[in-house]
């Protein structure tokens, strides 16, 4: 969980730098995810998100307090869903599909950019860190790109779950909006999602292999890929 990472610093400066890096990574991952949904909806003919002020970098307009708390303490969370009115789409299927994948596509772009920037950071020579300030700035950006990579990959995996109201469900809804599955999810999906999150956590404390959500969201392979690529 992110709050544990933040508090694990060996000094006040370490804790402060980690806090800034994590909050910045969470901010860009969540806010740009929602802006992407609203922007693509606008391009498809629906200005609802624009009129609601959701095409803004102002975090107050996007952050859901519960979602942010869960992100910090559990490792996964959400922002306020961007309002979308599919009746305004010029093409329903094209609009629904492109809006549905816009958020995770943005997270993928952010993860890829952050991953590549870790490579850039890895080749900065130690001689360039001439004083404590330069080293602190270097450490801050290094942590930001590391957590940005991990958080954005985590959000992709989470949002692709085919459970209402996540993006994975929206993709299915694009092609089968009146299916029995979609009707069931619209009615019970939110409760199912909370049951999955809470149930997996509780069962995982009893017997780790039962934490199916935790296993699915395990990002150790991303950390190994970063180490393999950049050392």
Catalytic positions are 34
CA 163 to each of CA 73, 173, 177: distance values in angstroms, whole numbers, following the listed order: 22, 11, 14
DSSP, residue by residue, 107-166 = HHHHHHHHHHHHHHHHTS-GGG--SHHHHHHHHHHHHHHHHHHHHHHHHHHHHTSSSTTS
Half-sphere exposure of 80 (CA within 13 A, CB side): 17
CB–CB of 62/80 below 8 Å?
A: yes
63: DSSP letter = B
Q: Is 107 left (phi over 0), alpha (psi -120 to 50) or beta?
A: alpha
> 10 Å Cβ neighbour count for 65?
9
* CA–CA dist 41, 180 (Å, integer): 26
């Amino acid at each position: 969980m992110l709050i544990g990472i933040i508090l694990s610093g060996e000094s006040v400066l370490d804790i402060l730098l980690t806090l800034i890096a994590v909050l910045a990574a969470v901010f860009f991952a969540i806010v740009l995810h929602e802006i992407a949904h609203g922007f693509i909806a606008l391009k498809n003919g629906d200005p609802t998100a624009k009129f609601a002020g959701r095409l803004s970098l102002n975090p107050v307009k996007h952050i859901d307090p519960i979602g942010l708390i869960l992100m910090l303490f559990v490792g996964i969370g959400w922002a306020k869903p961007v309002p979308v009115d599919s009746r305004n789409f010029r093409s329903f299927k094209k609009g629904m599909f492109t809006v549905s994948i816009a958020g995770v596509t943005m997270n993928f772009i952010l993860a890829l950019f952050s991953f590549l920037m870790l490579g850039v950071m890895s080749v900065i020579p130690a001689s360039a860190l001439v004083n404590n300030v330069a080293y602190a700035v270097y450490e801050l950006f290094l942590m930001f790109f590391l957590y940005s990579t991990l958080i954005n990959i985590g959000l992709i995996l989470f949002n692709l779950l085919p459970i209402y109201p996540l993006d994975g469900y929206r993709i299915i809804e694009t092609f089968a909006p009146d299916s029995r599955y979609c009707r069931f999810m619209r009615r019970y999906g939110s409760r199912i999602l909370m049951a999955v999150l809470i149930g997996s956590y509780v069962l995982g404390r009893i017997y780790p292999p039962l934490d199916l959500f935790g296993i699915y969201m395990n990002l150790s392979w991303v950390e190994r890929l970063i180490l393999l690529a950049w050392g």
